Amino acid sequence: MDATICPSPDSCPHYHYTEDVAPTAAEETPIHFLIASFRDRLCGRTLHNAFSHAKNPKRLTFRVIQQTKADSELEDDEGCWDHYCDKYNPDCQEYKDQVRIIPVDASESKGPTWARSRLSAMVSSLSTQCGIAILINDFNFQYVGSFRRFTH
């Protein structure tokens, strides 16, 4: 039931999408989530909300720096993918190729800025917006439409 585990941020595949598609094909534009998770029990819920509210969940990809404490019994340290599969989607295998987990021991964590910079380095040639997403139904189609209006 594992998502792809990257041995380090440098060895995860990069994304090289340099041109947006025509506005009529916005439903196919990929959307990338970069998640810096520190002992975060809500990370699995974020995956659930994104996949369940997306008009086309197959276009979503996630890169997660997962900062947890090994051998901990706390729900906060269960891990993003495991929590998603256990609590929200027992059929999670359909999305496993869309989620990349980079494990970091919480005791070696260097803070959210470091984690976000590592995630950003994994995605090249991509226009990004920073912020917290509130995931509404069909959000991925609406997001691309809004992004296009502000960048063109």
Residue 119's nearest CA partner among 76, 61, 70, 46 is 61
Question: Is the predicted pLDDT of residue 62 greater than 60, yes or no?
Answer: yes
Question: Is the predicted pLDDT of residue 107 greater than 70, yes or no?
Answer: yes
The region of weakest confidence among 72-81, 119-128, 136-145 is: 136-145
Does residue 119 sit in helix, strand or coil?
helix
Determine the pLDDT at residue 54: 86
pTM value is: 0.69
Q: Round to whole Å and give the CA distance between 134 and 142.
A: 12
Taken in order 109, 122, 37, 97, is the CA torsion positive or negative?
A: negative
45-56 mean pLDDT: 91
**Residue percentage of the chain with pLDDT more than 90:** 35
For residue 45, the one-letter residue type is R
Contact 56, 27 (CB under 8 A): yes
